[in-house]
Amino acid sequence: MFDDKKVIFSGMQATGSITLGNYLGALKNWVKLNEEYTCLYSVVDLHSITVRQDPAELRKRSRALLMQYIAAGLDPEKNIIYYQSHVSGHAELGWILNCYTYMGELNRMTQFKDKAAKHTDNINAGLYTYPALMAADILLYQTDVVPVGSDQKQHLEITRDIALRFNNIYGDVFTIPEPYIGKEGARIMSLQEPEKKMSKSDENANASIYLLDDPELIKKKFKRAVTDSDNAIAYSVDKPGIKNLIDIYCSFTGESTDSAVAIFEGKGYGNLKAIVGDTVAEGLRPIQEKFKELSQNSDYIDSIIKANAEKANYMAQKTLRKVKKKIGLPQ
């Protein structure tokens, strides 16, 4: 397991069900990359509490998210799938990196600005220093590659800046990670407001497709997708609704945008929505079946959670020991 393969780390917050955006922007690529690398995929539950959570719900969603990783095709014997809070090294390195992160840098983070605007009654310090904990997630494992959607690019840049700053002071401590942002699916948009990204927290139930949505519901949501009024199929930024549907179709089928446009040309929007809806419903069906199967195997999931936390912890401690020594904490 801890051979000389390069390392991948990525994670998702356990807030709400996982969307088609999370799947196409991240999880699908994780599955694609999982053979060639040593992979750690975390349910980043410590990040989730930067927004107020119902405790029972958080516990339930964290477990469901971990099971969706497996259901989507990640083999938990080969990939380290675990809860961030089960490896205390994340919080420890997170604190240390807070001391190497500037407020000026944090002030620029768009995710902080968006979330602060949404949760005006709870703009807490954790929400603000979120990127330092995210940097810790990544740097803790000497990660080479971080597969994410394009909205996380800024967080990856600050991670690299923190790592370079640290290395400049103390020598080669951290591997400098590279983002991996897929060509298709890097930014899936809302089905109702296609100029906005699809988000777990959208209040409009028709705006997002969830991985565990019933196939009929998926088709219905696509039928209701907002497009535009000219009925001509083209892949263009001026037609965000159509562009989004074509992106989703291409992500599932592997078709290029040009050939997708050729397939749909002259067929009308109704047809496009129906075909994309069918493609997604069918594409997600095996994941949903696997999820059901896993739901009946609680002991197996428990054993995965335990064994993988141990593996992650082992790797984390190696980096943490090095960091503590370098900065002068007593041994």
Binding residues for ligand TYM (CB under 6 A) = 9-13, 21-22, 25-26, 44, 47, 134, 137-138, 146, 148-149, 151-152, 155, 185-188, 197-198
Q: Choose between 187 and 290: whose C-beta lies nearer to ligand TYM.
A: 187
The C-alpha atoms of residue 89 and residue 95 are separated, in whole angstroms, by 10
Q: Identify the CA nearest to 276 among candidates 289, 288, 286, 263.
A: 263
| Closest distance to ligand TYM from the beta carbon of 139 (Å) | 10
| Closest distance to ligand TYM from the beta carbon of 146 (Å) | 5
Give the 3-state secondary structure of 70-132.
Answer: HHCCCCCCCCEEEEHHHCCHHHHHHHHHHCCCCHHHHHCCHHHHHHHHHCCCCCCHHHHHHHH
Q: Which residue in the list 6, 113, 183, 197 is annotated as catalytic?
A: 197
Of all residues in the shown chain, the one whose CB is closest to ligand TYM is: 25
Could you confirm whether 239 is annotated as catalytic?
Answer: no
Q: Which residue in the list 6, 200, 220, 322 is annotated as catalytic?
A: 200
Give the 3-state secondary structure of 214-264.
Answer: CHHHHHHHHHCCCCCCCCCCCCCCCCHHHHHHHHHHHHHHCCCHHHHHHHH
Q: Which residue in the list 5, 32, 113, 115 is annotated as catalytic?
A: 115
Could you confirm whether 200 is annotated as catalytic?
Answer: yes
Q: Identify the CA nearest to 14 among candidates 78, 83, 95.
A: 83
Q: Choose between 111 and 329: whose C-beta lies nearer to ligand TYM.
A: 111
| Closest distance to ligand TYM from the beta carbon of 70 (Å) | 16
Could you confirm whether 5 is annotated as catalytic?
Answer: no
| Closest distance to ligand TYM from the beta carbon of 290 (Å) | 20
Q: Kindly list the catalytic residues.
A: 115, 197, 200
